[in-house]
Amino acid sequence: MNFSKKIKKYFPCQKLNPLWAALLLLAITAPVQAELIVLSYHEAGHKLDNHSDFDAMTLKTSELAAQFSWLKEQGYVSISIDDLLAAQKGTRALPNKAVLLSFDDGYLGMYTQVYPLLRAFDYQAVIALVGRWMETPNGKKLTYGTKSVARENFLTWAQIREMVKSGRVEVASHSYDLHRGILANPQGNTQPAATSQRYNADASQYENEKQYRQRIYNDLKRNSDLIARKTGKKPRVLVWPYGAHNRITIDIAKKLGMPVTLNLEEGRVDLQSPGSINRLLIGHGITLADFVWQITNHYKPKKELVRAVNLNLDNIYDPDPEQQENNLGEVLEKIKKRRINTVYLQAFSDPDGDGNADAVYFPNRHLPVRADLFNRAAWQLRTRTEVKVYAWMPPEAFSSETVSLRSDLYEDLARYSYIDGLAFYHAAGLSDNERELVERARLYRPLLKVTHKKAEAPSMSDLEKN
């Protein structure tokens, strides 16, 4: 079909300017980027009690085979990292219903259970290895979460090389020693090593930005060099431990030759996004029906009734650390009892209630710190009551008109705390200045959401009256 006939096919009753016709034809015939689904698996085995320490992330081999079979029957096509990189560069489109399989941590079942299935289904996969675990000698124990487990539960380099040689498996970095928590505040919380500022309890201080960047760079480079030495090929993929990442870690990974990074966020995959690629976590005990629902509904927005409360840290703060912990514990219990799911957590101190910040509750470059309390409260809220925590720190609370001061404060807030988002006054949209504050915070928390603080949200004291 020639040019004019193609135009008439789509626009039979129209007389079009040749230039407009060419543009319309390009729009019509341009290939649509196929959707990609990336699945995150861990271990597989015939009997789950063989690896009791891993049961939460272990699938029965029969369950995994059933999932692979459903994917095959539904026309899903297993792709490689070469395919993914070609699609990102625009040199080759992904097939329809593309799926990328990834297996984290390097468990032995990858070789004994998963690898035979990859061959049987003609599938490919990415395995993510933790360097410190791999370098633990046989007969020794390694630290897995809070437990010690035998090195023999993990792959050997010989097994890895065999799988890589087959062309079905690509090795990714899972960091050398970031798959753990590190001390992240004075109260003793341990948080993901890749995105937390290490707190030195002996010196009562945090690592600085230079030290943080150097620690991440050294770790990722060490694991990249280890994988290259053992397999003959540097990794092109970095799988973030716990899915924890930020723009700094992504930039370091790219500089070390790992342009593809994978997280654990649900949602559509945007191949052109400069950030990390979303994955669906497939855990233990999932039925085939659950798996099918997860595949077909993962990108649909989930509507949830918001039950929000305002929480002022001035009402928790106490010069006595023990009393302060008691105050926080009481608040956590009340939030759980009232089935709250969203907390607007005030990050600044305003004891006189005039709306102006006299100090803040997090380490920062400019203002007095009444207490290093915000990270502790936010982490306890997220992990013990499973609420979404939005930092409440409106720019209007700071009398200084210096934009850089406010921007630094928002960056420091995100750097030293784990939060789901930021809350502002305006429901209709953000001002240019507020957008700048959000971008600065997203340097350390790229997935931060933005919401407006609901005027009708009660305070904790209001709830206690009812």
**Digit-coded pLDDT (tens) for 25-79:** 443 333 445 689 999 999 988 765 544 555 667 889 999 999 999 999 999 999 9
Confidence label for 8 from pLDDT (cuts 50, 70 and 90): very low
**Digit-coded pLDDT (tens) for 199-250:** 999 999 999 999 999 999 999 999 999 999 999 999 999 999 999 999 999 9
Instruction: Rounding to the nearest 10 degrees, give the CA dihedral for residues 39, 44, 48, 50.
Output: -140
Query: Is 79 within 8 Å of 99 (Cβ atoms)?
Result: yes
Beta strands in 145-253 (DSSP E): 147-150, 169-173, 181-183, 190-192, 199-200, 205-206, 237-239
Minimal CA–CA distance to 446: which of 273, 297, 217?
Answer: 273
In three-state secondary structure terms, 101 is: strand
Six token digits for residue 292: 């099918």
pLDDT, averaged across the chain: 88
- In terms of Cβ atoms closer than 10 Å to its own Cβ (0-12, 13-18, 19+), residue 466 is exposed
Q: Is it the case that residue 368 has pLDDT exceeding 90? A: yes
d(CA 80, CA 71): 16
d(CA 89, CA 360): 45
Cα dihedral across residues 347, 352, 356, 358: positive or negative = negative
* Domains of the chain (ranges, CATH numbers): 1-30 (no CATH), 36-297 (3.20.20.370), 308-465 (3.20.20.80)
Place of tokens 């030495």: 229
Cα dihedral across residues 179, 110, 150, 40: positive or negative = positive
**Digit-coded pLDDT (tens) for 429-440:** 778 888 999 999
d(CA 26, CA 28): 5
